[in-house]
Amino acid sequence: MSAHLSLEDLETLAIGQLGQPRAAEAEAHAAGCAECARELQWARTEQALFSRRSVKPVDSLWAGIAARIEAPRRIHRPHWARRIALTAAATAAAALLIVALRPHAPRAPDVTASESNNAIADALATLDKA
């Protein structure tokens, strides 16, 4: 093998997941190539450091995510929408109060058509006399 090993091959070899014929080939190349040997040593050192880290349990993680997905979503309205709704409600209430509490003008007595005709005739007679 004349070309250098790929980074993916080096990392796979470092964690021990490269297939047997390919792993033997890569080991042989790294033994003869200083650059690949240095990269392989770096990958193995890195793997050793990562293996020392404690692994946090993630079993409850997916249950929490599923619960948040299934939970009903609360509708979030912007602050200005609440102000507009409150202003509209206050305006409607004020208009209702104005209509309900306005002073009533004295109403003219209901006059029937015959009474109206009599009044007109009386007015015309008075004008004729004058």
d(CA 51, CA 45): 10
Q: Mean pLDDT across the stretch 65-73?
A: 81
Q: What is the pLDDT of residues 9-40, one digit of tens each?
A: 888 888 888 888 888 888 888 889 999 899 98
Token pair 């190349």 is found at: 29
pLDDT at 126: 86
| Residue 5: pLDDT over 90 | no
pLDDT, tens digit (0-9, with 9 covering 90-100), for 86-127: 999 999 999 999 888 887 767 666 656 677 778 888 888 888
Q: Report CA torsion sign: 107, 111, 113, 117.
A: negative
CB 12 within 8 A of CB 18: yes
Give residue 116's pLDDT. 74
